[in-house]
């Protein structure tokens, strides 16, 4: 029998142990945070760094129980040939690699888990697919290295979606509760270069989603027309397609010699696969399928039906698209200033307005072409149904993309970019980054901001971009009347000039909220010459008075010591003697 003395009595936890447990609790990832995971060792970025996907650490709903998922394809530019890639790598190495990426991101805007910030998708299971191949997610792994860089973007996208579908399918199979029923909603968003990749991989996405099954598949393209309208200075993307894309079998519309690419030579000198307009009109298995199919649905192997919708967010004044087609951003430290004379600047502004007008007209032409395509189907499609499934919103805000799912990626430009330009750079704050342009001749600094607040700052026809996205995801009916029976619900502001007032806002004499995206700072205000002279005289007098006061404080008795104490006798002595003559 064990005595009381021999019995081990539990000790109260040591204070250090309590602190350790508390620290572990504090270090536990917060709900909704996403962590980087490698899933295939053979996949690499352009610089050879390991590739992976961001997954939620502690989702509100386990994957096995989740009925809604959102996947984001990130962007980050593209290079066209070995020389161009080396130059871009020197300036922005972080877009070629995951070595600069954070291991963990909190999730913002469409990836936020806060219902007050992201009411329609806060409870969705969230996935973030990085972009580091610099090839619009089109690069062919079999092409090998090009100029020391590996462009395998197509394989990265395919494997990422395959990994997602495998994870969801396996989790639902183990739980068995949800295995037989399809998901409710899958939202896939492509941003900038990620949007270009998404609109070329519609079939890849469908295949992965159909493996799981979903009632609703919503595709959102944020700034896909960044290269749709004009040639980029210093970037021959036709050459790029031959260099790192399989134009024979995988992406024939990327072939520079494809007949459809020839149709757009006069517009942008781009292959068809990089043009939203070309793909929307002609890619009947991809973007055009949203109007070719009479009911815009797909049927999976188990006969479940998926309703598909498409939303395009664009800007007539996308600065990357407009400035990429000029020599505006080609200046370096030793070149002429980026901004010229007032006359040249006025010409540049006119060019921007003209180009933006061209972007609006081209969207109208595409909408008309798509309508004709739908009407020529047998039987002709119901235009009203199609309009509810294809929306194209084109603002007049000076902005490139509207959704920023992770502020940590926006800050990479401030921490690791080296543009080598005297007049251009990046600045950051807690919400994102700004492209900063210095106009030396006018002593001005202009910043164009891209932040996580942007989707609430940009208003269009009385709605924020945030509200437009929410309505699209939830299927809420639009309060806007149909636009002349077009198949695409195309909307754009009628005014000219960036950040103009929309018709609905001008009635209330309100400034467009996207003005907040532009910050102008005058670093030196010219002062009239007469005022400058007066100012210098005042400063000079102030210095003299200050010196005298300082001298007097150091020698307070100097004048007193020199005073002569007078007496009547002294006064008499001091008078000159008078000589009287008799």
Cis, bond preceding 238 (omega within 30 deg of 0): no
Distances (CA, A) of 388 to 128, 265, 309, 382: 27, 32, 8, 11
Supply the pLDDT for residue 173: 85
Contact between 135 and 88 under an 8 Å Cβ cutoff? The reply is no
Fold of 34-333+362-407+463-496: Rossmann fold (3.40.50)
3-state SS class at 35:
strand
Strands 183-191 and 125-129: unpaired
Supply the pLDDT for residue 343: 47
Q: How many angstroms separate the CA atoms of 349 and 389, rounded?
A: 35
Supply the pLDDT for residue 384: 60
Q: For residue 390, which of 287, 262, 460 has the smallest C-alpha distance?
A: 287
Residues 525-557: b if buried by 16+ CB within 10 A, e if exposed: eeeeeeeeeeeeeeeeeeeeeeeeeeeeeeeee
The encoded tokens of residue 168 equal: 């969801």
Q: How many angstroms separate the CA atoms of 461 and 441, rounded?
A: 38
Q: For residue 139, which of 43, 269, 209 has the smallest C-alpha distance?
A: 43
178 φ, ψ to 5°? -110, 5
Strand blocks (E) in 160-237 = 183-191, 214-222
The encoded tokens of residue 443 equal: 């002593």
Distances (CA, A) of 549 to 450, 543, 553, 554: 54, 10, 6, 9
Give pLDDT < 70 ranges for the chain.
Answer: 1-32, 176-180, 228-234, 262-268, 293-305, 323-356, 377-388, 440-442, 477-487, 496, 501-513, 523-533, 535-536, 551-582
Give per-residue pLDDT as tens, 155-208: 999 999 999 999 999 988 887 655 568 899 999 999 999 999 999 999 999 999
Strand blocks (E) in 335-454 = 390-395, 424-429, 432-439, 444-451
Supply the pLDDT for residue 419: 84
Supply the pLDDT for residue 125: 94
What are the residues whose beta carbons fall under 8 Å from the beta carbon of 471, sequence distance 6 or more?
A: 463, 477, 478
For the chain, give the number of residues: 582
What are the residues whose beta carbons fall under 8 Å from the beta carbon of 230, sequence distance 6 or more?
A: 267, 268, 321, 324, 325, 355
Supply the pLDDT for residue 496: 67
Supply the pLDDT for residue 448: 86
Q: How many angstroms separate the CA atoms of 114 and 452, rounded?
A: 14
- Give kind and range of the element (H or E) at residue 467: helix 465-474
Give per-residue pLDDT as tens, 416-436: 988 887 788 888 999 999 888
Hey, where are the domains in the chain?
Answer: 34-333+362-407+463-496
Burial class (CB in 10 A: 0-12, 13-18, 19+), 255: buried
Distances (CA, A) of 173 to 71, 177, 459: 21, 8, 43
Residues 98-116: b if buried by 16+ CB within 10 A, e if exposed: bebbbebbbbbbbbbbeee
Instruction: Please name every residue paired with 54 in a beta bridge, in sequence order, or none if there are none.
Output: 36, 128
């Amino acid at each position: 029998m064990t005595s009381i003395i021999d019995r081990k009595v539990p000790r109260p936890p040591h204070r250090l142990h309590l602190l350790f447990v508390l620290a572990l609790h504090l270090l536990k990832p917060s709900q909704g945070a996403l962590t980087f995971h490698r899933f295939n060792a053979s996949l690499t970025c352009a610089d050879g760094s390991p590739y992976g996907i961001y997954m939620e650490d502690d989702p509100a709903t386990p994957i096995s129980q989740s009925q809604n998922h959102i996947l984001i394809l990130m962007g980050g530019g593209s290079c066209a040939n070995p020389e161009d890639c080396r130059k871009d790598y020197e300036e922005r190495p972080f877009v070629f690699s995951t070595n600069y990426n954070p291991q963990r991101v909190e999730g913002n805007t469409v990836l936020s888990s806060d219902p007050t910030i992201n009411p329609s998708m806060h409870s969705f299971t969230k996935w973030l697919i990085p972009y580091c191949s610099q090839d619009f997610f089109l690069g062919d792994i079999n092409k090998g290295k090009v100029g020391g860089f590996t462009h395998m973007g197509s394989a990265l996208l395919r494997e990422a979606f395959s990994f997602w579908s495998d994870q969801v399918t396996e989790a639902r199979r183990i739980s068995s509760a949800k295995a037989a029923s399809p998901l409710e909603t899958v939202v896939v968003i492509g941003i900038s270069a990620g949007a270009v990749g998404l609109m070329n991989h519609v079939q890849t996405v469908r295949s992965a989603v159909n493996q799981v099954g979903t009632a609703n598949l919503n595709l959102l393209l944020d700034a896909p027309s960044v290269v749709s309208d004009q040639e980029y200075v210093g970037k021959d993307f036709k050459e790029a397609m031959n260099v790192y894309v399989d134009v024979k079998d995988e992406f024939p519309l990327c072939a520079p010699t494809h007949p459809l690419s020839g149709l757009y030579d006069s517009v942008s000198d781009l292959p068809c696969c990089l043009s939203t307009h070309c793909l929307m009109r002609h890619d009947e298995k991809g973007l055009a399928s949203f109007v070719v199919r009479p009911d815009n649905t797909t049927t999976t192997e188990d006969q479940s039906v998926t309703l598909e919708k498409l939303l395009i967010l664009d800007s007539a004044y996308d600065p990357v698209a407009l400035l990429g087609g000029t020599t505006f951003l080609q200046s370096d430290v030793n070149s002429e200033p980026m901004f010229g004379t007032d006359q040249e600047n006025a010409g540049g502004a006119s060019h921007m307005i003209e180009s933006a007008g061209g972007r609006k007209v081209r969207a109208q032409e595409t909408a008309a072409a798509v309508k004709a395509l739908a009407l020529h189907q047998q039987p002709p499609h119901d235009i009203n149904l199609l309009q509810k499934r294809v929306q194209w919103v084109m603002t007049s805000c000076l902005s490139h993309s509207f959704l920023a799912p992770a502020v940590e990626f926006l800050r990479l430009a401030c921490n690791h970019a080296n543009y080598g330009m005297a007049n251009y750079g990046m600045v950051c704050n807690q919400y994102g980054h700004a492209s900063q342009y210095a106009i030396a001749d006018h002593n001005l600094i202009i910043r164009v901001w891209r932040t996580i607040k942007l989707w609430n700052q940009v208003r269009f026809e009385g709605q924020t971009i945030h509200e437009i996205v929410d309505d699209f995801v939830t299927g809420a009916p639009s309060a806007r009347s149909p636009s002349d029976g077009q198949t695409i619900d195309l909307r754009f502001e009628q005014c000219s000039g960036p950040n103009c007032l929309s018709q609905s806002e001008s009635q209330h004499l309100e400034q467009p909220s996207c003005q907040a995206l532009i910050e102008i700072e005058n670093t030196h205000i010219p002062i009239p010459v007469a005022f400058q002279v007066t100012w210098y005289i005042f400063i000079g007098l102030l210095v003299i008075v200050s010196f005298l006061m300082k001298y007097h404080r150091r020698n307070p008795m100097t004048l007193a010591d020199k005073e002569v104490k007078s007496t009547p006798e002294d006064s008499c002595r001091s008078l000159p003697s008078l000589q009287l003559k008799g």
